[in-house]
Amino acid sequence: MTRFIFRLPDIGEGVTQAEIVAWHVRVGDRVAEDQTLVDVMSEKATVDMTSPVAGVVVAINGEAGDFVPVGSTLVEFEVDGVADSSDTKPVPAAAVSPKPAPPVKAPAKQAPKKTPVPPVMLAEPESAIRASTDTPLASPAVRRRAHELGIALQYVPGSAAAGRITEQDLDDFIARGGVAAAPPIDSQGDRYAKRHGVRETKLIGLRRRIAERMQEAKRNIPHFGYVEEFDMTELEALRRELNEDRRENRPKLTLLPFFMRAIVALVPEFPHINSRYDEEPGVLRSYDAVHIGIATQSDAGLMVPVVRHCESLDLWGCARELSRVTAAARDGTATRDELSGSTITLTSLGTLGGISATPVINAPEVAIIGPNKLVDRPVVRDGQIAIRTLMNLSCSFDHRIVDGHDAARFVAQLRRLIEKPARLFMDRP
């Protein structure tokens, strides 16, 4: 038997570390070659690491949520045969683990595994918290200390006989920040019963990434919001017609491809809105290309796949790419390239919509465009009440880059294009 050491391989350009998202093996497991060992995440791609050897797992390094540097030991195996004759001289990972090649390089062959939902870590499931009418069972010393600390023992799980709360239980409760284990919800219980449970969920993987990025965007970017009302009646009529007549191999048109094309049409006039702002050197990069991020809800959380080069796609092309990248994001097969590099972002809650929103800018971009819900409303047109299909558009801009006036002009132009959709298909007059 020899020891084989599996290290985190280089999984992509400039990647120096990855986050462990989920383990699929435990110490003592016998694994076959190619069996999945662990999911790791770098930037936005989740990669499943498969075993280059068959053997028994004898050690595992890192827990879900930990960041591990490239080249560090992930798993140690006892293997039969010759893989490595020395415990102390591990073979370089690249040499022995060809399987988990960087997915970015070959996305088709090495499709990343669907991003798992981060496990919810319950505070240890302990005995039930007593009803508030029950007298908590604890020694006088524990009761006194709890009272001094302002802790109601009703909420402290007791581990001893009859649910008695020991000194240790109180210490543990305090160590958890005074958070009790979740009480089991009694399905036959009183529907008006007070609930006292708190579940602790460690943010790992995508959720942590989302949290960090949102925090960063909100902290760094002076957002300003702008809402305008759009009359969607004509566009909706056109969209309905196009959908009815569309060829079989064409995706159904939603509103978003129209907005994508409208943005493309406006970028020459508003280049700084299709930009990324690099704070550190203080450089704004305005792009000729229009790479539109599409905020997408996946099981794991918010992802922003990117439709690249929208300027090169017609309406149907936009619809097709939109459909493809969002599907890839949802099922976890989106590649790193498909999840990065956008220059402006569209966010739509679809039919949920809302009447208004305050979207958070997808940093380092400077603008995010959010169509809201379509509603038929009576409006005054030419002195007459007419039924029109109206929609609000909620946008946020980086006020460091975009002045209010420019934003208002941009949205006004967008409105002209959307309200008279024929303009979308014509050269500028």
Partner 1 sequence: MNRSPMTQTIKTKVLVVGGGPGGYVAAIRCGQLGLDTVLVEADRLGGTCLIRGCIPSKAIIHAAGQFESMARAAQAPRFGIALDTAPRVDFAATTRWKETIVDRLNGGVRALLARAKVRVLSGWGTFSDAKTCKVATAAGEIVIVAEHVILATGSTPVELPSLKFGGRVISSTDLLSLQALPQRLVVVGAGYIGLELGIALRKLGVAVSIVEAQSQILPLYDAKLVEPLRRWLERHGVAVYVGAKVLGLNSRGDAVEAETRQGDKLTLPADRVLVTVGRQPLTSGWGLEEMAVAMHGRFVKIDDRCATSTSNVWAIGDLVGEPMLAHKASAQGEMVAEIIAGKRRRFDVRAIPAICFTEPEIVSVGQDLDAAGGDATMVGVFPLQANGRALSMDAGDDGGFVRVIARKSDHLVLGIQAVGQHVSELAGEFATAIEMGAVLEDIAGTIHAHPSLGEAFHEAVLKSLGHAIHI
Q: How far, in Å, are 245, 246, 262 from residue 314 at the CA level?
A: 17, 14, 11
Is 403 a known active-site residue?
A: yes
Alpha helices in 176-305 (DSSP H): 205-220, 233-245, 255-266
Q: Could you give phi then psi for residue 50, rounded to 5 degrees?
A: -105, 160
- Structural contact between residues 376 and 306, judged by C-beta atoms closer than 8 angstroms: no
Kindly tell me which residue out of 139, 243, 312, 356 binds partner 1, with binding defined by CB under 8 A. Answer: 139
Instruction: Point out the catalytic residue in the list 403, 405, 406, 427.
Output: 403
User: 19: left (phi > 0), else alpha (psi -120 to 50), else beta?
Assistant: beta
Q: How far is the CB of 166 from partner 1 (least distance, A)?
A: 10
In the complex with partner 1, which residue's Cβ is closer, 57 or 129? Answer: 129
In the complex with partner 1, which residue's Cβ is closer, 88 or 135? Answer: 135
Part of the chain binding partner 1 (CB under 8 A), chosen from 4-12, 18-26, 35-43, 162-170:
162-170
Is 399 a known active-site residue?
A: yes
The verdict on 168 binding partner 1 (CB under 8 A) reads: no
For residue 429, say if its preceding peptide bond is cis, omega within 30 degrees of 0.
no
The verdict on 147 binding partner 1 (CB under 8 A) reads: yes
Measured between alpha carbons, how far is 276 from 260 in angstroms, rounded to an integer? Answer: 18
Q: How far is the CB of 158 from partner 1 (least distance, A)?
A: 9
Part of the chain binding partner 1 (CB under 8 A), chosen from 74-82, 85-93, 159-167, 393-401:
159-167
Instruction: Point out the catalytic residue in the list 10, 223, 399, 406.
Output: 399
Kindly tell me which residue out of 28, 88, 109, 135 binds partner 1, with binding defined by CB under 8 A. Answer: 135
The verdict on 133 binding partner 1 (CB under 8 A) reads: no
Count of C-beta atoms within a 10 Å radius of residue 422? 10
Measured between alpha carbons, how far is 196 from 181 in angstroms, rounded to an integer? Answer: 9
Q: How far is the CB of 144 from partner 1 (least distance, A)?
A: 7
The separation between the first and the last C-alpha atoms of the chain, rounded to the nearest angstrom, is 78
Q: How many residues bind partner 1 (CB under 8 A)?
A: 15
Upper half-sphere CA count for residue 138 (Cβ side, 13 Å): 27
In the complex with partner 1, which residue's Cβ is closer, 28 or 140? Answer: 140
Part of the chain binding partner 1 (CB under 8 A), chosen from 142-150, 187-195, 289-297, 384-392:
142-150
Give strand pairing partners of 389.
Answer: 376
Give strand pairing partners of 67.
Answer: 19
Positions in the binding site for partner 1 (CB under 8 A): 135, 137-140, 143-144, 147-148, 150, 160-164
User: Could you list the active site residues?
Assistant: 399, 403
